[in-house]
Amino acid sequence: MDTNSLNIARIRRNISNTIFETAYNKLISNQIEQLINNEKKLLLKSAIIFLNTLDESLEKLGYRIILSYCNQSNDYKPLYDVALNKGYIPVAKYIELNFLKTDRSDNSFFNTLLSSYKENYSRNGVYLSEGQQELVDFVDSTEGDFVLVAPTSYGKSEIIIDKVKKNKSKKVCVIVPTKSLLAQTKRRIINNNLHNEINKIITHPDMYLDNQESFIAILTQERLLRLTQKFPDFTLDLLLVDEAHNLLKGDDRAILLAQVLLITRKRNPNSIINFFSPFIANNHSLESPYSSKQLSYKKTEEFIKIEKYFSIDVQNNGHLELYDQFTNKFISITKFNKTSDLEFVNTYKATKNIVYINKPRDIENFSIKASQIEPYNVLNKFINELIASITEYVHPEYYLIDCIKNGVVYHHGSVPDIIRLYIESAFSQQQHFDFIVTNSTLLEGVNIPADKLFILSPKIGNRYFTKSELKNLAGRICRFSEIFNTSTGSLQRLEPSIYFIKGQYVSSKANINGFIERSLRSDLIISDKIDNVLLKELDDIEDYDEKSKAAESLEYLENIEPNTVKSDSIFYAQSTIAQLCYKNNVHDFDIKKNEESLKKNLAENLLFDINTSSYLVRAITLLFTKDIDLLDDNFKRMTSPSVQRYYTILLQWKADALSFSQMVVYLANYWILSDNALIYVGNKWGDINHEQKQGSRGYINLTQKTYKQIINLAIVRVKEEFDYIDNTLVKYIEIIKELGLVENNFYNQIKYGTDNQTIICFIRNGFTMELAQTLIKEVYQDYLTIDLSNDTVIINSDITQAMIENGENRILIFEVRYHIK
């Protein structure tokens, strides 16, 4: 062991169970008034020692001492000096402007020099830290493939936009993980002075015109795959992958992302791929053995924020404890005498708060209860308009409306996409809102202002947070834009509070404190967990199931894009229908094993000129379920005549372009008029195990539900059912179309809800059906320039005022702003 390591080990021993620890515990418990002078001196001297070690955990401990001392004493000179020394320019500049005006405002050479030094880090009116500037310099100087890793709020989105701007004459694609981020990313590009330089931003495969020499595309991996399928000569020069850590996962979407990256590289070996993430420990983790390219790597090691973690079991002992990640100990703070998660959250809330709960049903239940604590008597004009808009767009009985009235919004995957965007914006703009209650949808690039985070369940789905995911979630509060805001900023936000609450949303057997220790200790080494089989050598995989999945994934890849990888054991589909199943990423059955049945079903059933939803559903079931061993339970339901009738109705609603609010009412009435009181609503929302399957509670008894409960179940099910249609059934519809069996106008009605080419143009450009139907009104034609041959829509910004004067729904006015260049 070298001398430095011995010194660090000695320091670690000396800070435990000593006078230092006693003083330190007082400090981080916000009891600075109890510190005697000798304890203060000891803490500050120790901080200087820690800051000058080569141990990251000890450096953070030293910074925490200085930060906590300055925030409590309101004497920011020590933090100013540390911030300058470590290159934390935004911190130093904020202190200079707000706390050092009297004694450091002279024009001495030293202060002039420091001021000039800090100005070197000013960019577009914002001060960057040294770490942020190093990220920018790395991107500017690196021409090849790279991985860029930086915490939330470190400016990755701005770097991506800047990269797009500098490559606007090339074929560029930004991959985002969710459809809801398509509009947000498009808006960022438009807002960054690119509107006069880019004619069209592609957000849908149908917007692409063959042989375009340059374009900017913003797509999910599913949409990029579809684009590569439709156009065999489609290539990219630059691919920017946002939230790139998703590539490490083992699910179908992660594998699909790996496949489109390999296809991109195969079609253009000179293409450049850049990855952006808040946490990738090793650049090699994202390198596929099926690609020869190696990735450069840049990660910032800065730690400008130091989180304060709290833990409480509200239903048992009620002791609030502060967890110190540096000593790995819990410090008792106080006794909380109530036994409710909600009462604790309401007691310790800040002005703006994020409440994390895993399950959508629990999210809604908590939000409803939270909104009933302190009803607001007076609502401002904005909130009244917000309520009226959602009432019209969704339904007057929507739980979200009751919550909004009383300062709460909720946010999960079964909330309509445009409503999620709308309430994110409302929460950010309006002081009226105290809480946004959400689940893992918040992890995917959502930027909202909040000062505190309450974690009421430490899980995503059926598993616990990984260390990286937990850090990413914690990074969602106290963003730099709020900390350093010139009018409302506060350096107190450099110590964001995160509360772990063991209450009604956590198993009684769960050991929350053990989970915190395993996940948040400062000296933990976080490594990448690689579950994606396409990031592993096939020969290195030992697990049989994983090896089979890898072979299947390679088989899909080769059937989508032959000769992408070298392998002697690939099965290539021989029939057109099986080939189309591969190209449309069908996973509901084993294509290879069922190819003969697929061929037989196509040959034996006279299917042509399909032009009704009933005929279309019949075609799907005849071709893809008859004599086929189905693997997916959801798709297996399509073999039921009652389910076939149900999806026939839903597809007809889509073809008829019903509004969301109409479909909610229609679905509720469909259930109410049903002969059977047992209604399938899926495991997220059901409470009855009708099918006697372990862990399955997919049904409700309609006679036990109020009308309001039925309406709210209809709202989430309309969203989920049409997501299922768009993500699963549309694959089969596309196959049937490519087999030449669907009448073209009907295909457009099913896919777009219309055969009106102007509305289709709007929808291809990312507009909702509701907005498209509004904009084709005669009164708005002077504000629009539509080129059907080029699939472009240009909107004059004056349209928003016209829509306001015409009394259009505020949600549509909000949405149209995303498309104005």
pLDDT per residue as tens digits for the range 526-570: 888 999 999 998 888 888 899 999 999 999 999 999 999 887 788
- Is 210 within a domain? yes
109 and 143 together in one domain: no
Contacts of 310 (CB under 8 A, 6+ apart): 320, 321, 322, 323, 333, 497, 498, 499, 500
Contacts of 142 (CB under 8 A, 6+ apart): 296, 298
Query: Is 664:395 a contact under the CB 8 Å cutoff?
Result: yes
514-520 long-range contacts (CB < 8 A, ≥24 apart) are: 515/458, 515/464, 516/309, 516/311, 516/323, 517/323, 517/328, 518/467, 519/465, 519/467, 519/470, 520/309, 520/323, 520/325, 520/467, 520/470
290 and 374 together in one domain: no
336 and 194 together in one domain: no
748 C-beta neighbours (distance < 10 Å), count: 18
- Is 258 within a domain? yes
pLDDT at 152: 78
Q: What are phi and psi of 537, to 5 degrees?
A: -70, 130
Alpha-carbon torsion (331, 8, 131, 142), positive or negative: negative
280 and 358 together in one domain: no
233 C-beta neighbours (distance < 10 Å), count: 8
Segment 369-391 shows an average pLDDT of 86
- Residue 12, SS3 per DSSP: helix
Domain C-terminal end among 280, 299, 318: 299
pLDDT at 582: 94
**What CATH number did the domain enclosing 187 receive?**
3.40.50.300
637 and 670 together in one domain: yes
Segment 292-320 shows an average pLDDT of 91
- Is 541 within a domain? no
Query: Is 223:256 a contact under the CB 8 Å cutoff?
Result: no
283 and 335 together in one domain: no
Task: Identify the burial level of 194 via C-beta atoms within 10 angstroms of its C-beta, where 0-12 means exposed, 13-18 middle and 19 or more buried.
Answer: middle
495 and 360 together in one domain: yes
740 and 789 together in one domain: no
Domain C-terminal end among 731, 750, 769: 750
pLDDT above 80 for 14: no
pLDDT above 70 for 16: no
- Residue 411, SS3 per DSSP: strand
Name residue, tokens 């949808």. Answer: 441
Rounded Cα distance, 299 and 767, in Å: 37
Segment 249-254 shows an average pLDDT of 92
- Is 557 within a domain? no
680 token code pair: 């399938």
Q: What are phi and psi of 97, to 5 degrees?
A: -75, -30
Q: How many CA atoms lie within 13 A of 83 on its CB side?
A: 26
Q: What would the pLDDT profile of 700-755 be if each residue is shown by its tens digit?
A: 999 999 999 999 999 999 999 999 999 999 999 999 999 999 999 999 999 999 99
The residue among 300 and 711 whose pLDDT is bigger is 711
- % of the chain beyond a pLDDT of 70: 93
Segment 341-352 shows an average pLDDT of 94
The residue among 658 and 100 whose pLDDT is bigger is 658
Q: What would the pLDDT profile of 165-176 be if each residue is shown by its tens digit?
A: 899 899 999 999
Model's pTM, two decimal places? Answer: 0.92
Residues forming a β-bridge with 795: 784
Query: Is 405:387 a contact under the CB 8 Å cutoff?
Result: yes
Q: What would the pLDDT profile of 787-811 be if each residue is shown by its tens digit?
A: 888 888 889 999 999 999 999 999 9
Segment 177-201 shows an average pLDDT of 76
- Is 477 within a domain? yes
Reported confidence tier of residue 182, pLDDT bands at 50, 70, 90: confident
Return mean pLDDT, the chain: 89
pLDDT at 18: 79
pLDDT at 740: 94
Q: What are phi and psi of 642, to 5 degrees?
A: -70, -35
Pick from 15-29, 253-267, 473-487 the range whose average pLDDT is largest. 253-267
Segment 346-358 shows an average pLDDT of 95
pLDDT at 376: 66
Strands (DSSP E) found in 432-510: 435-438, 452-455, 459-460, 463-464, 497-502
Segment 281-298 shows an average pLDDT of 89
Reported confidence tier of residue 55, pLDDT bands at 50, 70, 90: confident
Domain C-terminal end among 60, 84, 118: 118
If you count DSSP H runs as helices and E runs as strands, how many of each does the chain have, helices first? 34, 23
Query: Is 552:541 a contact under the CB 8 Å cutoff?
Result: no
pLDDT at 192: 73
Query: Is 50:91 a contact under the CB 8 Å cutoff?
Result: no
Reported confidence tier of residue 209, pLDDT bands at 50, 70, 90: confident
Domain span at residue 440? 308-520
- Is 558 within a domain? no
75 and 164 together in one domain: no
Domains: count for the chain: 5
Angle at 536 between CA 269 and CA 177, to 5 degrees: 70
- Is 256 within a domain? yes
Rounded Cα distance, 251 and 528, in Å: 16
pLDDT at 1: 44
268 and 339 together in one domain: no
745 and 769 together in one domain: no
pLDDT at 618: 95
Alpha-carbon torsion (458, 461, 465, 471), positive or negative: negative
702 and 784 together in one domain: no
pLDDT at 518: 92
- Is 535 within a domain? no
Pick from 3-12, 378-387, 689-698 the range whose average pLDDT is largest. 378-387
